[in-house]
Amino acid sequence: MIWQIVAVSILLVFYTIYIGKMIAQKKKGIQTDQIARGKKKGKLFRVELMMKIATYSVVLVEVISIILNISALPKAVRIIGIILGVAGDIIFAIAVWTMRDSWRAGIAENDKTEIVTSGIYRFSRNPAFLGFNLVYFGILLIFFNWVLFIFSSFAVIMLHLQILQEEKYLPSVFGEEYKAYKKKVCRYIGRK
């Protein structure tokens, strides 16, 4: 039962931050959720649509795994999962807070945003995605089963493909400032 309580807490914190940020921005007239919206076409639309499907479906499989309380891993590995999940929550919260009103889910082709390179963004170009991944891996380790492994892997792969789409798009918005930033800071963690 304790595993279930901890896992539900990790997910509640994560999605409270996510949804809370969206609501706060909506009150300011900002449409945060840009995933597969607007006039996007081709590969960008397909990647964002598949990412949306992946990130919604993994939550469903996580919840089912938590309810069934299934795990094929030893207690020590499950504890590592808790640590990763909590770290994911913390990193995601810091990333969203640091991004302020420039934070979007998906590529916002018509929004005017500012490049953020301070705070946690000095050490990761994509700390929000890193937070997602750590939560996914954490829940996977707490309740390891092959179905959850497949759905978690699918979500992580789709988030990575989204990052690659953003990396193609951002130079057109932020120009040399983004290119210089990309040369200094790693995609997920670390400085170059």
Confidence at residue 159, expressed as pLDDT on a 0 to 100 scale: 93
Q: How far is Cα 107 from Cα 39, in angstroms, rounded to an integer?
A: 11
Q: Which two tokens stand for residue 74?
A: 């030893």
Per-residue pLDDT of the chain (192 residues; tens, 9 = 90+): 899 999 999 999 999 999 998 888 888 887 766 666 667 577 877 888 888 899 999 999 999 999 999 898 999 999 999 999 999 999 999 999 998 877 777 666 667 778 889 999 999 999 999 999 999 999 999 999 999 999 999 999 999 998 998 899 889 888 999 999 999 999 999 988
Domain annotation for the chain: domains and CATH numbers = 2-184 (1.20.120.1630)
Confidence at residue 26, expressed as pLDDT on a 0 to 100 scale: 85
Confidence at residue 16, expressed as pLDDT on a 0 to 100 scale: 96
Confidence at residue 146, expressed as pLDDT on a 0 to 100 scale: 96
Measure Cα distances from 130 to 89, 178, 183, 191 in Å. Answer: 10, 19, 19, 15
Confidence at residue 59, expressed as pLDDT on a 0 to 100 scale: 96
Q: How far is Cα 34 from Cα 104, in angstroms, rounded to an integer?
A: 7
Q: Helix-strand-coil percent breakdown of the chain, rounded to 5?
A: 75, 0, 25
Confidence at residue 166, expressed as pLDDT on a 0 to 100 scale: 87
User: What type of residue sits at position 123?
Assistant: F
Q: What is the pTM of this model?
A: 0.91
